[in-house]
Structure formats: structure tokens, C-alpha cells
Chains A and B, each alone.
Chain A
């Protein structure tokens, strides 16, 4: 009987350890409907950006890179999207959390790409940690009540000609229309954020 108990104990212990080790590598990040903590970035452009003071109904936080080949093809698409939705009560902030990309790199990138939105240097990846962001591009939409309402990709293909689902655009359309977001979480491949 004591042998049986030992076996059961060992089985349970193994199961617990296995579950623990797996979950430990997957920290629970923000979920849709969670409140987002405020943050302030004093940017190299001389402005301070606080999430709670964005002054818009929705803020699109885009984890961004000057180098990632998954970000580069989005220049034209994101400029079009931002220009359209900035006049509909949405603000767009690109956040660069890569320790390998300097403020000077970002300045040059901004000038070359003509983004209509700021690109913020997230020193020490504080904002990336706050959101649990893993890659670029990766998008989070926060409403004026600081609630996360969308998390995922811009669309479902970095090649614009192959896009069949414009997920961020669809989410913004539904939000502006006062509807719940039908596809609030999406996935795609991206370059891992290089943290300090």
C-alpha cells in the first residue's frame, strides 16, 4: 500500500513539476479586457508620452523595429491606416524596445519612412515588459479607460498582395462603431524583441 502511495506521489510530483516548468516559461501577459498600467516616455523628440494622456478614444501601441524584415513591408500600409484613423479618434504610437537600436537609428528611420506617428524609444524595455510584448511588429489597442481591446498583428501577411484579413483595421472599425471586437487576439511571426 505504501508502495502504491509512493507511486501516486511521484506521478503527481512529476505532473506538477512539468506543468510548473512549462508555465514558468510562458508568463501570463495582458489579456483582452485587462486594465493596462500607465507609462510615460520622455522621448528623444522632446515630448512626453503618457498612455493616460493620449487624449484619444483608442491608442494603438505598435512594437516596432528599424531593422526587422517583418516590419519593413508595413511602411505604406501603416501610414495609410494611421492617416485614416487618426482623424477618427485613434492615436498611433510606435514603440521601439530593442536594446540594439538607438535613438539615432530611430530618428533616421522616422525620417526615411515618413510615419505620421511618433516612434518612441523604450529605454530598458519597460513598456515591452508592461505589455508582455515579444516581437515586432506586435500591436496592442487600448481604449480611453485603459482597457486592452485588441492584441496581435496588423494583418495576416507581410506581403501586402497576400493579405486576406486586415485584423487591426477590422478591430478599429468595430470599436469606432461601438461593437465588440470579433477577433480580438491574432498571431503572426515577428522578430523577437532584443531586451537588455
Chain B
């Protein structure tokens, strides 16, 4: 009986360590639906919310990623970077998570779990046509700037400074 208890205790510790290790290494990724998106805006208070849509199969998305993460971390006091992957659910563990880890993403990120893509598109920006990469700046829950296509760290910062005046 004591052996079983020890085994359970050890297993619990192992799972806890495994989970915390994964989170600490930027591997935490959650499905994004409408309620989650609304909660993000609600929780962000007066921080600027920066939403970036990307996918592991999108070459320009991957090219801008290191600059984007660097920019997001440098401005995390006043803003919150939300990365939304458009990868298929089957690719999340094998392709999306390793890419996030490789790029030192040590904060929670998301993957698209909307039933239909158009719902997410229209919720973010009804004028957006769905090209990725795209980055959107929200202030007090309202869209104030959008950048379509690959950007550099300087371009992200320039847009952010315009929004953060």
C-alpha cells in the first residue's frame, strides 16, 4: 500500500514538474474561441493588445517572428502580445509548439479554434481580408492600427509608438 502511495506521489510530482517545465519553456498554447478573445480584451485593462496571426507554413510569418517576439517582450509593461496560430490542430504539438519554443516564446499563446475562419476575421477587423502575417493593435478594446505583411522590429515599434501616444 505504501508503495502505491509513493508511486502516486512520484507520478504527481513528475506531472507537475513536466507541466511547469513546459510552461516555463513557452510551450503553453490554448485554443482560441470568441469567449477567450473577449476575456483577453477584458483582462488587458488599459494595456495595448497586439494580435499577430501566423502559421508554421507561412514563410513571411516565420521570418518576422524573431523581431515580433523581441518587440513584444521589450514592450510588455504597457502591452500584451497575443500570438494566434492558424495551424491545423494536428500540427500544434509537432510543428507549432516547437517553433514557439525555438523562438523563446515564454508566454501563453493561442491557436485558432473558431468553427469558421470568417468569424475570427470579422471579430478582429471586418475590413481585413485574411492575409497573414497580419498584426493588429487594440487600445481599450478598439482596433486602432493594423499591419498586413512581414514587418521588422522597427516597424512594429513605430506602429506601437503611434498607438501609444
B35 in contact (CB, < 8 A): no
B129 in contact (CB, < 8 A): yes
Q: Are B121 and A187 in contact (CB under 8 A)?
A: yes
Q: Which of A14, A156, A157, A190 contacts B132 (CB 8 A)?
A: A190
A193 in contact (CB, < 8 A): yes
In the assembled complex, the Cα of A4 lies from the Cα of B6 at a distance in Å of: 72
For the complex formed, measure the closest distance between the CB of A193 and the CB atoms of chain B, giving whole angstroms. Answer: 7
**11 A-B contact pairs sorted by A residue (CB < 8 Å):** A17-B162, A21-B145, A22-B144, A25-B148, A134-B131, A189-B86, A190-B130, A191-B57, A191-B58, A192-B148, A192-B150
A187-B118, A187-B130 known; A192 vs B162 contact (CB < 8 Å): no
Tell me which residues across on chain A come within 8 A of B51, comparing CB atoms: none
Query: In the complex, which residues 39-53 of chain B have their Cβ closer than 8 Å to any Cβ of chain A?
Result: 53
Q: What total count of A-B pairs have CB within 8 Å?
A: 77
The digit string for A19-50, where 1 denotes a CB below 8 A from any CB of B, is 00110011000000000000000000000000
A192 to chain B: closest residue by CB: B131
The size of the chain A interface, using a CB distance under 8 A, is 25
In the assembled complex, the Cα of A41 lies from the Cα of B132 at a distance in Å of: 27
Q: A18-B144, A134-B148, A189-B132 are in contact. List 8 more A-B contacts (CB 8 A).
A: A14-B165, A21-B145, A26-B127, A187-B118, A187-B130, A189-B131, A192-B131, A192-B148
A121 in contact (CB, < 8 A): no
Q: Are A192 and B60 in contact (CB under 8 A)?
A: yes
A186 to chain B: closest residue by CB: B118
Q: Which label, helix, strand, loop or mixed, suits the secondary structure of the A interface?
A: loop
A14-B165, A21-B162, A69-B57 known; A191 vs B131 contact (CB < 8 Å): yes
Tell me which residues across on chain B come within 8 A of A22, comparing CB atoms: 143-146
A21-B162, A22-B143, A192-B149 known; A187 vs B122 contact (CB < 8 Å): yes
In the assembled complex, the Cα of A150 lies from the Cα of B34 at a distance in Å of: 28
For the complex formed, measure the closest distance between the CB of B125 and the CB atoms of chain A, giving whole angstroms. Answer: 8
In the assembled complex, the Cα of A167 lies from the Cα of B132 at a distance in Å of: 21
For the complex formed, measure the closest distance between the CB of A129 and the CB atoms of chain B, giving whole angstroms. Answer: 13
For the complex formed, measure the closest distance between the CB of B108 and the CB atoms of chain A, giving whole angstroms. Answer: 22
In the assembled complex, the Cα of A26 lies from the Cα of B60 at a distance in Å of: 19
In the assembled complex, the Cα of A138 lies from the Cα of B128 at a distance in Å of: 13
Query: In the complex, which residues 109-165 of chain B have their Cβ closer than 8 Å to any Cβ of chain A?
Result: 116-118, 121-122, 127-134, 143-150, 162-163, 165
A188 in contact (CB, < 8 A): yes
